[in-house]
Structure 1
């Protein structure tokens, strides 16, 4: 079993491609990775971003696919419209079942995208996606609907759902997530944990979804299992970020 992350690099190890690979490994799935951008960041702030040229993103993807029979992939920070278009083309070319984490803003507040990024997502990548996993702020940008309540999130999910299935994750909805699969809406109940160890939670959620799909679960069950996985990873987290290896009894200090 294997899965691919197409995402940015967080040198602190808490988010981005390193969080994805940890998640894949914790769930028994071999992880490959294509880097889209280098960042200078930690849990508290982002001070710099160096995007990878789109052609080199494509070259990385081609070489991975030449060697590994990847079916399930996830995207994280893509940063620019040009990288979005390059990734979308490769998703089509290789028929990847892709989970899109539409990373736009860091939890610390730093912008992680530029230019016509949202427009490119809507036009090029979301129509190729299996599901997109925005938080509330990202769902507002994708739908142009302000979200203050679960009902607002449902309306936004229906707009985004015209392009692909969607889960609006519950960190800003009192722990509740809104899922739309094949036009059917469900509210996944949950409770927020009183924890600061949340850096990388969105990355880990989308990576866990890809891993559970690779393990043979259907989409709805993969989302529920990913939600449970991330909640426990936060509960057992440290240094402001998740502990993806909580189920193995390993708690690195």
Structure 2
């Protein structure tokens, strides 16, 4: 079972491609990683971003997919509309099943992208995706709809182009899952901790790993939520992701 992450590099190892590969390994699938950008950041501070050219991102994808049969992928930080268009085209060309983590801002507060990407994601990427995993802020950008309550999150999920889970870290732990128009609410206890860097990355990569292990989409989401919750509670993800 071979999966793929298309995302940026966090040199502190807590988010992005490095974190995704750790999650893939912890759950028991082989991960490949396509780098879209380098960042200088840590769990507490964001410094800068250096994007990779679209041509080189394409060459990385072609190189991996020339050697391996990959069905499920996740996307993280894509930086620009041009990169979003490229990745969307490659998803279609290779008939990949994509889970989209619509990364726009780092946990530490830094803007990871050149400009607002919501329009490009809605136009090009989400129509090619099987799932997107926005947090409240990202869901608001994708839908242009303010989310303050559970009902708001449910309504917003109806306006997202593909199936979705709107994560509840900033909504009293209420995760709103919308699969084929069917709403499932999964509420989790909020844990007081600083160990939250990269949780969105780990959630989307865990979903991909569970999908690759022949779970359906809803089951993969629920297992991934439990995986990340246990990682936050215990200060790690499995035994492979260090406490940040």
Q: 1:251/1:127 Cα in 2 relative to 1: closer, same or farther (>3 Å)? A: closer
Aligned residue for 2:164, secondary structure, equals: strand
| Residue 48, structure 1, aligned to residue 41, structure 2 | no
Distance in structure 2 (CA, Å) of the matches to 1:236 and 1:90: 37
Aligned residue for 1:172, secondary structure, equals: coil
Distance in structure 2 (CA, Å) of the matches to 1:114 and 1:136: 21
Alignment partner, residue 164 of structure 2: 166
Q: 1:251/1:99 Cα in 2 relative to 1: closer, same or farther (>3 Å)? A: closer
Of 179, 184, 192, 2:190 maps to: 192
Alignment partner, residue 12 of structure 1: 12
Q: 1:80/1:252 Cα in 2 relative to 1: closer, same or farther (>3 Å)? A: closer
Superposed counterparts of 1:90-109, under 5 Å = 90-109=90-109
Q: What do the CA deviations read for 1:123-182 (whole angstroms, capped 9, x no partner)?
A: 00000000000000000000000111111111110001xx21010011011111001000
Give the drift of 1:252. Answer: 7.0
Aligned residue for 2:176, secondary structure, equals: strand
Aligned residue for 2:159, secondary structure, equals: helix
Alignment partner, residue 209 of structure 2: 211
Distance in structure 2 (CA, Å) of the matches to 1:129 and 1:251: 30
Superposed counterparts of 1:17-96, under 5 Å = 17-96=17-96
Report the TM-score when normalising by structure 1.
0.94
Distance in structure 2 (CA, Å) of the matches to 1:80 and 1:59: 17
Distance in structure 1 (CA, Å) of the matches to 2:243 and 2:187: 30
Give the drift of 1:251. Answer: 6.5
Contact 1:245 1:251 survives alignment (8 Å):
no
Alignment partner, residue 121 of structure 1: 121
Structure 2: segments with no counterpart, 5+ residues: none
Q: What do the CA deviations read for 1:103-122 (whole angstroms, capped 9, x no partner)?
A: 00111111112225211100
